[in-house]
Every structure is written in structure tokens, then in C-alpha cells.
């Protein structure tokens, strides 16, 4: 899967889970009918949010994004639906390639070494991604829900 396709899928999934969470919040706070939507969609959104952030870092390192562009990509996960805007923004500026640079190129910087390994070993890389998302979700659950 190309950086463009992987990033786009996560950006769209993050926006969809935002919509589901907002629907759950409407049912909980406006119609006062059920909290189930917030519980279920809040968890789903949290997992996809973490996955989007990790993929943003992975793609950002591989595609040589500036720190500012990586930060913008991460910040765009906070307001609803901004990940889709950022995906379009990055594609229009040629920041999302159709191939992984670090699969063919030798890593030049320290941060590129683990990314190159993940990309050159796709099964282990995917497993590492799943484990990272699960671990970070666990940390978020231990920290507790957002206050508000």
C-alpha cells in the first residue's frame, strides 16, 4: 500500500469516526436518549485517532515532511473532519507519494532507521503498528476520558 493510499484511508476513517462520535454526543446530550453511542464511537474514534497520528509520523518521516507539516498533520486530527482537508492539502503539494522512499533508499537520519525497518518488513511492521495502537489506547484508557 502506498503512502498516499494508507494516509488517505486513515484520514477518512478518522473523519468518519468523528461523525459517529458527534452523532453519539447528539443522542446523549441533546435528545438524552442513550449514552451507548458515545461509549462505542468514542472508543472507536480514539483507536482510529491514535492510528492516524502514528501513520502521520510514519509517512512524514518517509516522505521527508518538515516538522511543521508533521505538526500540522497531527493537529488536524483534533478538530472534526480536518484530516480530510490535510490529506488533500498534502497531496496537492506533492507530499504524499505513490511509493515508500525508505524501502529503496538507505536511511540517512537516526529517525529514519526504525521507519525503514518497519516498511521493509511489512508483516512485522503491521504487527508493530497494531501493538503500538493497542498500547497507546491502553495508556489513554488508564489516563481516563477527556474532561468536559
In whole numbers, what is the pLDDT of the chain averaged over residues? 96
145 pLDDT band, cuts 50/70/90, is confident
User: Is residue 10 a contact partner of residue 52, using CB atoms and an 8 Å limit?
Assistant: yes
In this structure, the number of other CB atoms found within 10 A of the CB of residue 54 comes to 16
* Rounded-to-integer distance, Cα 70 and Cα 47, Å: 19
Digit-coded pLDDT (tens) for 2-23: 999 999 999 999 999 999 999 9
Q: Which domain holds residue 40?
A: 3-143
| pLDDT for res 28 | 93
| pLDDT for res 148 | 59
In this structure, the number of other CB atoms found within 10 A of the CB of residue 75 comes to 12
- Per the domain annotation, does 115 fall within a domain? yes
- Per the domain annotation, does 148 fall within a domain? no
Secondary structure (DSSP) of the chain: --HHHHHHHHHHHHHHHHHHHHHHHIIIIIS---SHHHHHHHHHHHHHHHHHHHHHHHHHHHTT--HHHHHHHHHTTSSTTHHHHHHHHHHHTT-S-SS-HHHHSPP-STTHHHHHHHHHSHHHHHHHHHHHHHHHHHHHHHH-SPP-
Digit-coded pLDDT (tens) for 30-44: 999 999 999 999 999
Place of cell 458515545: 38
* Count of domains observed in the chain: 1
- Per the domain annotation, does 59 fall within a domain? yes
Task: Provide the whole-model pTM.
Answer: 0.94
Burial annotation 9-40 (CB, 10 A radius, 16+ → b, else e): ebbbbbbbbbebbbebeebbeeeeeeeebbee
Amino acid at each position: 500500500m502506498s503512502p498516499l493510499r494508507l494516509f488517505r484511508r486513515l484520514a477518512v476513517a478518522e473523519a468518519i469516526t468523528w461523525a459517529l462520535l458527534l452523532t453519539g454526543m447528539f443522542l446523549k446530550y441533546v435528545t438524552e436518549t442513550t449514552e451507548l453511542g458515545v461509549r462505542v464511537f468514542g472508543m472507536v474514534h480514539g483507536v482510529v485517532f491514535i492510528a492516524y497520528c502514528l501513520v502521520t509520523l510514519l509517512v512524514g518521516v518517509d516522505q521527508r515532511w518538515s516538522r511543521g507539516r508533521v505538526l500540522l498533520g497531527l493537529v488536524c486530527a483534533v478538530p472534526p473532519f480536518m484530516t480530510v482537508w490535510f490529506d488533500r492539502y498534502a497531496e496537492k503539494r506533492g507530499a504524499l507519494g505513490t511509493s515508500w522512499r525508505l524501502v529503496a533508499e538507505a536511511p540517512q537520519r537516526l529517525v529514519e532507521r526504525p521507519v525503514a525497518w518497519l516498511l521493509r518488513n511489512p508483516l512485522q511492521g503491521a504487527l508493530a503498528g497494531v501493538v503500538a495502537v493497542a498500547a497507546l489506547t491502553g495508556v489513554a484508557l488508564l489516563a481516563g476520558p477527556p474532561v468536559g
